[in-house]
Amino acid sequence: MNAPINANMDRTKYLGGKQSKRVPLLNEGLVRHLYGSGMTIAELAVEIGCTDRALRLFMIRCGIERRVAAKRDQRGPNNCLWKADRVTYKAAHNRVYATRGRPQKCEHCGSQSTDRKYEWANVSGKYHDPSDYIRLCRSCHCKYDGLLKNLGDYANVPPKNRP
């Protein structure tokens, strides 16, 4: 990529083509040269001193084709919003589903029936680590978490008699 433009630069060698009436430094030859050298529209707009929108409209009017935006890897630490180990409970489980997929069997009872619901259960309490989860069916997950102990006597009441 070329060095940034400064006020001392000789712009006459890039003159040619259409000239913007509103932005004095917006010239077709200059835009073609800088955009062709690898600058992005945002970088080019800052250098010339105009908005991105004005530059895009000028490029369309001059027939300068825009490059296809490069696909960037935004997963994990490459994302600017990545929280590492400060992740919330819901986001941690979403991370597990994204990296390991939906569980299809129970690692405890060995069930693989399509009638049952399977979930990811955290082993050690390190929710931020996707490899720290095991596949369990719903009933094994409740037993593993001790959910029935937490419910107390309410767990033994038949569903029809519950308030």
Give me the number of domains the chain comprises: 2
Residue 100, pLDDT > 70, answer yes
**Spatial CB neighbours of 103, under 8 Å, sequence gap ≥ 6:** 118, 119, 120, 135, 136
> Do 131 and 90 fall into the same domain?
yes
Please state, rounded to an integer, the average pLDDT across all residues of the chain: 78
Among 26-40, 42-56, 63-77, the least confident range: 63-77
Same domain, 87 and 144: yes
pLDDT at 135: 92
CA distance 27 to 71: 29
DSSP H or E segment with residue 137: strand 133-137
Domain limits for position 36 = 12-62
- Predicted confidence at residue 141, as pLDDT, reads 87
pTM of the model: 0.49
Q: What is the mean pLDDT of residues 143-152?
A: 70
Between 152 and 95, whose confidence is greater? 95
User: What's the pLDDT at 3?
Assistant: 44
In a shared domain, residues 51 and 99: no
